[in-house]
């Protein structure tokens, strides 16, 4: 199972995070400014609520003590926020 880290769970990042979590085929960790417990997806086809593992420090996605180093990192921040995502 690949460990995937998603940095920037805004509108776009939340969609990707929710879809990755719903597949159940990835060990997902989300890096956000503020902690939260789940992502609610409103869709006419299938509304869903998925629980996610959230960290607030980008360095935590490389901490082997939190489940291992990420195999993939998806960066879903605005271009002017890229520096803060380091």
Mean pLDDT over 46-58 rounds to 89
pLDDT of residue 66: 64
pLDDT of residue 47: 85
pLDDT of residue 34: 94
pLDDT of residue 43: 82
Position 80 pLDDT exceeds 90: no
Position 28 pLDDT exceeds 70: yes
Q: What is the pTM of this model?
A: 0.82
Cβ burial, residue 8 (10 Å; 0-12/13-18/19+): buried
Q: Could you state, in order of their start, the residue ranges of all structural domains in the chain?
A: 35-72
| CA dist., res. 74 & res. 81, Å (int) | 14
């Amino acid at each position: 199972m690949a460990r995937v880290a998603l940095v920037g769970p805004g509108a776009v990042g939340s969609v990707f995070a929710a879809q990755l979590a719903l597949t159940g085929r990835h060990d997902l960790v989300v890096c956000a400014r503020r902690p939260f417990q789940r992502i609610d997806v409103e869709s006419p086809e299938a509304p869903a609520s998925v629980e996610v593992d959230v960290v607030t420090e980008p360095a935590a996605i490389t901490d082997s003590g939190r489940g291992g180093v990420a195999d993939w990192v998806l960066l879903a921040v605005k271009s002017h926020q890229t520096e803060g995502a380091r």
